[in-house]
Amino acid sequence: MITMKKRTFAIILSVVLAVGILIGRSSLQAKMTPSLSQMFRIFTAVIYMVQTHYIDELTPEELVERAIKGMVSSLDPFSEFYTPEETEDFMVHT
């Protein structure tokens, strides 16, 4: 049985993939990558969709923070993003 959370996530993932395919198709046709402003519009749309359709309540700040953490941690095993609170804790412990 598929839970509501999984179903909602599947819908959001489908929309994100569809947007990605459309961007990929249009960028191939134009032989250029999407501009940074286009990518920010997509990012903002995804944040809105998660906020309105995801079962758990997350603030835009939480979503952006998680996105940044994911982006930075995907670079290499040594890269990590710290929030101001995490940075302070890190400084205290070192």
Has this prediction a pTM greater than 0.75?
Answer: no
What integer is the mean pLDDT of 28-32? 54
Average pLDDT, the chain: 80
**Chain Cα centroid distance, residue 29:** 26
54 secondary structure, DSSP code: -
47-80 b/e (C-beta count within 10 Å ≥ 16 → b): bebbeeeeeeeeeeeebeeeeeeeeeeeeeeeee
CA nearest 27: which of 39, 10, 15?
39
Is pLDDT above 60 for 60?
yes
**Please, are residues 80 and 73 in contact by the beta-carbon 8 Å criterion?**
yes
Residue 68 — very low, low, confident or very high, per pLDDT cuts 50/70/90? very high
> pLDDT value at position 6?
62
